[in-house]
């Protein structure tokens, strides 16, 4: 039998707050973290809104000498990792005996684009000799799990996944499998992203992917609503500590939830658009259910990918109805991107944490801005107000550019 894998710690950085408790409290209150971008002049851009993290101080989490050597996405990753590690009650740094049995897998969508853009300007204005020797380490995605491993002394499995908007979920799923295979006992996993930059904003605008509801930022992200007009870019990190059940029990850890299923598929259809038949979404959810050994009727809640784009929301709804049949109309579905935006490579990690918190507290976060029903989106999207209810099994969906899909299933822990 495969080893059971449990969640013992979580960390969150979102546009709502730095920290798990405040982010979660504001999510359950249905608050939005979306506003006009303040980081740079957005007047020339079609989209002028995003979910910026504004209360984060890297000095609270990293030595001063390290901060300037690391891109903001690495700051977020380390901070969320340390939050999760602290909640798990593990020593920092880890002792030499356990370090080889502990590792880190993180998902990153675009990595250090802020660093890249700054250095291109520096190169053009002042020449090649002005580029910092820390430029490459600040830029590359794998420096996020690398820095976490250095901070916490994790010498076991370590890697970085770059699978667009599914990266965080892939990282959690792969970390689960590492533990099930017996290659580690403890894994830090999730996603981080910090790419609210002029070039990124321009690129997504050119792809016509973003909302342009600039006059109403808090109402711009509206998954499954008929008047949705694109996603809202965001930033942050969501990280969790996974452990083998044996490891958690041996040290008397508090177990928050159990991770029981993981699926991953490809649409093999288009660079940015989902397969119109939703085939990849359908097979991914079914793979996760098969991995968990569950019938579709076991799922109580789906934390949807729910991007607030026309194709994704209708396609995801179609897939849910195909996988779950009549049960699709009995389970609850919500998109927390309505409040915190789309964090790209971080979003799967963040939504995995949210799924675990829903199980812990027996409450479902809402889909805010759900005002005008869409005939193509006709499920229970927990509209506008959180819902206290019995929750035992949660499915979290993540679907990315390139047709890459990841699904995770979490369960209430039972001895």
Task: Render pLDDT for 242-276 as a digit per residue (tens, 0 to 9).
Answer: 999 999 999 999 999 999 999 999 999 999 999 99
Superfamily of domain 261-411: Thiolase/Chalcone synthase (3.40.47.10)
Q: Which CATH class is domain 5-250?
A: alpha beta
pLDDT of residue 5: 98
Domains 5-250 and 261-411 in one fold: yes
Q: What's the pTM?
A: 0.97
Give the per-residue pLDDT at 204: 97
pLDDT at 74 > cutoff 80:
yes
pLDDT of 405 strictly over 80? yes
Question: For the chain, what is the mean pLDDT?
Answer: 97
Integer Cα distance of 41 and 102 in angstroms = 43
Q: pLDDT tens across 31-55, in order? A: 999 999 999 999 999 999 999 999 9
The angle, 0 to 180 degrees and rounded to 10, between the axes of the packed helices 72-88 and 143-152 is 40
The pLDDT tens digits of the residues spanning 321-365 come to: 999 999 999 999 999 999 999 999 999 999 999 999 999 999 999
Query: Domain spans of the chain?
Result: 5-250, 261-411
- pLDDT in the model for residue 215: 97
Question: To 10 degrees, what angle do helices 347-361 and 167-180 make?
Answer: 70
- Looking at the chain, the whole-number percentage of residues with pLDDT higher than 90 is 99
Is residue 16 within 8 Å of residue 339, measured between CB atoms? Answer: yes
The tens digit of pLDDT for each residue in 77-116 reads: 999 999 999 999 999 999 999 999 999 999 999 999 999 9
Strand, coil or helix: 167: helix
Q: What's phi and psi for 102, nearest 5 deg?
A: -130, 140
Structural contact between residues 178 and 247, judged by C-beta atoms closer than 8 angstroms: no
Helix axes 279-292 and 310-324, enclosed angle (nearest 10): 40
pLDDT tens for residues 8-32? 999 999 999 999 999 999 999 999 9
Terminal CA-CA length for the chain? 16
Across the range 221-248, mean pLDDT stands at: 98
**1 has a pLDDT exceeding 80:** no
CA distance 204 to 308: 14
The widest CA-to-CA distance across the chain, in whole angstroms, is: 64
Alpha-carbon gap, residue 213 to 277, rounded angstroms: 29
Asked whether 140 and 147 are in contact (CB, 8 A), the reply is no
| Mean pLDDT calculated for residue range 295-320 | 98
For 51-97, give the DSSP string: B---S--GGGTS-HHHHTTS-HHHHHHHHHHHHHHHHHT--SSPPTT
Task: Give the closest residue to 241 by CA, choosing from 3, 4, 10.
Answer: 10
Per-residue pLDDT tens digits for 376-389? 999 999 999 999 99
Q: What percent of the chain has pLDDT over 70?
A: 100
pLDDT score, position 186: 98
Average pLDDT over residues 307-319: 97
- The pLDDT of residue 415 is 94
At residue 2, the pLDDT reads 85
Catalytic residues: 165, 305, 342
């Amino acid at each position: 039998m495969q080893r059971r894998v449990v969640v013992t710690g979580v960390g969150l950085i979102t546009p709502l707050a730095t920290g798990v408790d405040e982010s979660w409290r504001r999510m359950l209150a249905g608050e939005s973290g979306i506003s006009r971008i303040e980081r740079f002049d957005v007047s020339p851009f079609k989209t002028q809104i995003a979910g910026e993290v504004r209360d984060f101080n890297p000095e609270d989490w990293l030595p001063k000498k390290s901060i300037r050597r690391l891109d903001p996405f690495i700051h977020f990753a380390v901070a969320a990792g340390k939050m999760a590690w602290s909640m798990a009650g593990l020593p920092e740094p880890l002792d030499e005996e356990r370090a080889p049995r502990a590792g880190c897998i993180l998902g990153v969508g675009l990595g250090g684009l802020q660093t890249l853009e700054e250095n291109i300007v520096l190169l053009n204005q002042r020449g090649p000799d002005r580029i910092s020797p820390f430029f490459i380490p600040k830029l590359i995605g794998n420096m996020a799990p690398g820095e976490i491993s250095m901070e916490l002394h994790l010498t076991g499995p370590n890697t970085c996944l770059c699978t667009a908007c599914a990266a965080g979920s892939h990282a959690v799923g792969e970390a689960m499998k590492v533990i099930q295979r017996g290659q580690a006992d403890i894994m830090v996993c999730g996603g981080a992203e910090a790419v609210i930059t002029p070039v990124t904003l321009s690129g997504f605008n050119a792809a016509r992917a973003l909302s342009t509801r600039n006059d109403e930022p808090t109402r711009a992200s509206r998954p499954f609503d008929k008047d949705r007009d694109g996603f809202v870019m965001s930033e942050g990190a969501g990280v969790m500590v996974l452990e083998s059940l044996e490891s958690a029990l041996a040290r008397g850890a508090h177990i928050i939830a159990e991770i029981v299923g993981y699926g991953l598929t490809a649409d093999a259809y288009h660079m940015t658009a989902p397969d119109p038949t939703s085939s990849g979404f359908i097979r991914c959810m079914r793979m996760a259910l098969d991995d968990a050994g569950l019938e579709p009727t076991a799922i109580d809640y789906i934390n949807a990918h729910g991007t607030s784009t026309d194709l994704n929301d209708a396609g995801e709804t179609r897939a849910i109805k195909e996988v779950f049949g009549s049960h699709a109309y009995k389970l609850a579905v919500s998109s927390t991107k309505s409040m915190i935006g789309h964090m790209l490579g971080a979003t799967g990690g963040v939504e995995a944490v949210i799924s675990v918190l829903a199980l812990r507290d027996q409450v479902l976060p809402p889909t805010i801005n759900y005002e005008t029903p869409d005939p193509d989106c006709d499920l229970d999207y927990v509209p506008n107000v959180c819902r206290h209810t019995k929750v035992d099994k949660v499915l979290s969906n993540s679907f990315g550019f390139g047709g890459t899909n990841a699904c995770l299933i979490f369960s209430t822990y039972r001895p």
